[in-house]
Amino acid sequence: MKGKPLVSIVSAGLSKFGKIEGLYARELFAEAAKEAYERCPNLNPKKDIQALFVGHMGESYEHQGHTGATAADWAGLLHIPAIRTEGACASSGAALRAGIYAVLSGLCDVVMVGGVEKMTHRTTPEVTEFLAMASDYPFEQWHGITFPGLFALMATAHMHKYGTTEKQMAMVAVKNHYHGSLNPKAHMQKEVTLETALSSRVIAWPLKLYDCSLITDGASCLILTKPELAKKYTDTPVHIVGSGQASDTIGMYEREEFTSLKAAKLAAKKAYEMANVKPEDIDVAEVHDCFTIAEIIAYEDLGFCKPGEGGHLAEKGETKLGGRIPINTSGGLKAKGHPVGATGTAQAYEIYLQLTEQAEKRQVKDAEIGLTHNVGGSGATAAVHIYRRE
């Protein structure tokens, strides 16, 4: 039997992603929670939900901390334990892990997990500075390197070692923008051509504008319960059957190689073993494409191809809808957007839609097993989860 369920997702919610003017992060989280409640009429949120875990990267954007209590207040969940988790861009991947712990421990029957970030009201230099806090301060931030620069180092190393090309990276962007054009909640809902992607301005060579994810506002959430209780709330639960999380050095300069993320490989190994599945069993995946090179490296770290073959996988169209292993059907961070605290559970939201056949124009036919891959910083944190439909 593939994958004994750890917990079950009985509902999920996602706010609109994009440049959302006039709303605070707490209001975006309330929007996501409202959808989750409406999808699950058998749930009484105030009575049934016993804890909230919410991923949120930084207080700097809104000069607001104490995110757990704030999100609980606006989601109508006063009086329960509400805890913020922080793992940089993997903050809500960590929230999902915490929710799984809470249910498996027996302390909770039903929990909400999610994440939120409000970013677009800040200038690009401010956002760049706030995001850089997820890298090493004395040896990276202080010297002026930013995340485009760190991932550019990975890209040039990958190009040197394996012959990966700028065209292959651009093809990841083209593919994800196509998927984003099919997602009504995506930040960027327009296709781009390969020529447009390749000719866009350089941000940190070889990464260009269309190789970089978007500064975005948004929120996401899931409602988890014990598998034996799932049918009380929905006829179509999605079971989480594998969960792995690992850490690596905060600074890239301490790592043995730049062409792979050790934490992601360790997290994936744990999740695959727990779920009793192999990479070839995955029908659809959401991976952390903060930059196009990150998606190519994810293909390799997750075992969808051999090391060095990620660029070819993208070039052959195997990760596009209709391909062998559709990846980032939501549009990914690249087109759906990357409100950093919300990203991990937003990935899970897409897999929930896919496995319950609610993904509409971007539906993967007969999808039974899904995977999410959520990375924090330049790879110091990684969380991988595997899902199976009922």
The SS3 call for residue 385 is: strand
Locus of tokens 């999920």? 12
Known active-site residue 89 = yes
Q: Which of 179, 187, 312, 338 is catalytic?
A: 338
Q: Please name the residue ranges forming H helices in the chain.
A: 25-39, 45-48, 67-74, 91-104, 124-132, 147-162, 166-180, 194-199, 230-233, 262-275, 292-301, 310-315, 332-335, 343-355
Cβ-contact 388, 99 below 8 angstroms:
no
CA distance 298 to 264: 8
Phi/psi of residue 91, nearest 5 degrees: -60, -40
Radius of gyration (C-alpha) of the chain in whole angstroms: 19
CA distances to 114, 219, 360 from 127, rounded to whole Å, are 22, 17, 33
Residue 368 and residue 280 in contact, taking contact as beta carbons nearer than 8 Å: no
DSSP letters for 198-253: HHSPEEETTEEGGGBPPP-BEEEEEEEE-GGGHHHH-SS-EEEEEEEEEE--SSGG
Distance (Å, whole) CA 274 – CA 277: 8
CA distance 63 to 1: 49
Cis peptide before 206 (omega within 30 of 0): yes
Catalytically annotated residues: 89, 338
